[in-house]
Amino acid sequence: MHEHLRGIGAVARESGLPVSALRFYDAVGVLRPAWSDPVTGYRWYSGDQVGQAALVARLRQVEMPLADIAEVLASRHRSAEALTVLDRHLRELESRFAAARKHLSDAREFLADPPATRLEVSAADLAQALAAVRYAVGSDPAWPALTGVLLDCSDGVLRLVACDRARLAVASVPVRHLGGLPVQVVVPLAFLASLLDRDGDGDGGGGGDSSESDAGGEEPLLSVELRVDRVVIGDAEGALVAAEPVAAEYPDYQALLQATWVRQVRIPTSDLVSRVVDGPPGSIEGRPAVTRRPDFVAVLLGDHGVDVVQPSVPGAVAFDRAYLLEALAAAGGDDVVLALDAARQVLGVARPARPEDRSLLMPVRLRP
């Protein structure tokens, strides 16, 4: 019975269609073997089917859809009908090739002249956002991206981000007249600071919302143009200041912001600052006082408040004292919200009115 039939391995070698593909086309009914052993399931093909398999192999190379392959096989003895299917697929390939050429041409233009994202922001808003994050800008030359401020324009908001690997600060700025694609660029801190200092807003605090107008009733606006190779900021008088972005990739700060906050406590800012400055009580449960360390502070977040305690207190987490005070100063406002991440014990510091603007502090690992 098998004298004039070929096994699946031989058909694969002669046709160029892999064994796995022959099994697939059998399963979907496109190319069924002449006979399958009912006991072993082994497939046997006729000589004519070897030619069909070779035809299928060529049609696969040009990514012809399965339905069209089946149509070609069914009409292979009616060449006019089969050629109609081939011509239809050729026109589809030519259309896709033309679209691919257009996309590659656009990509070339993008690389040669990166598109600009343009927007306007309040000068006061930008100054306040910078004041809220600049304390967390890094200075380690081994991490050049962290020595600048990330400008992330997406979702209709301009975010300023600073990180020195021990802390992260994010502040958002409302935008107007936004046009262009989402973009991220890292600009030198000195560029932003000098620009805002020139306009007299560089010393603004992180607290409060900028809703006041200048003496003329008009809120000073800055025009901003963000490109991957250049940042240009101009004022109402038309003066332009440009800077070259830092040529380094910024870490995924959004991933760092994703946390499971197990405790969130609102507390008056001045009260917490006093506790952090004064430090914990000198003794606990009758034990001798622990020598006060000026460099860190242990914080215990409870259901109804925040306590500065000895580091030996169960549940307390230690943080750099100076970093925490800077984060509180940058947050500003009458109240502040502290939150603790369950997994990493990262401390979040935010203003109640702007929970999306947050500072993160990494814990201090104390040696026993």
Q: What is the pLDDT of residues 77-100, one digit of tens each?
A: 999 999 999 999 999 999 999 999
**In the chain, ranges of CATH 1.10.1660.10 domains:** 6-110
Give Cα 84 distance to the centre of its chain: 48
Half-sphere exposure for 170 (CA within 13 Å, toward CB): 21
Provide the percentage of residues in the chain whose pLDDT is more than 90: 65
CATH code that applies to domain 117-243: 3.10.150.10
**In the chain, ranges of CATH 3.70.10.10 domains:** 259-361
* Residue range 109-125: mean pLDDT, rounded: 88
Q: Which fold has domain 6-110?
A: Multidrug-efflux Transporter Regulator; Chain: A; Domain 2 (1.10.1660)
* pLDDT attached to residue 209: 52
CATH code that applies to domain 259-361: 3.70.10.10
CB 8 within 8 A of CB 45: yes
* pLDDT attached to residue 286: 43
Instruction: Report the predicted TM-score, pTM, of the whole model to 2 decimal places.
Output: 0.69
**Structure tokens given for 174:** 């409302």
Which residue did the predictor score with more confidence, 249 or 215? 249
* pLDDT attached to residue 352: 92
* pLDDT attached to residue 282: 58
Residue 67 Ramachandran class (φ > 0 left, ψ -120 to 50 alpha, else beta): alpha
* pLDDT attached to residue 211: 46
Other residues' Cβ atoms within 10 Å of the Cβ of residue 203: 9
* pLDDT attached to residue 160: 97
| Crossing angle between the packed helical segments 47-61 and 66-74, to the nearest 10 degrees | 140
Is the pLDDT at 254 greater than 80? The verdict is yes
* pLDDT attached to residue 236: 67
Segment 153-199, tens digit of pLDDT? 999 999 999 999 999 999 999 999 999 999 999 999 999 888 766 65
Mean of pLDDT over the chain: 87
- C-alpha distances (whole Å) from 55 to each of 66, 107, 128, 132 are 13, 36, 69, 67
Residues contacting residue 216 through CB under 8 Å, at least 6 positions apart: none
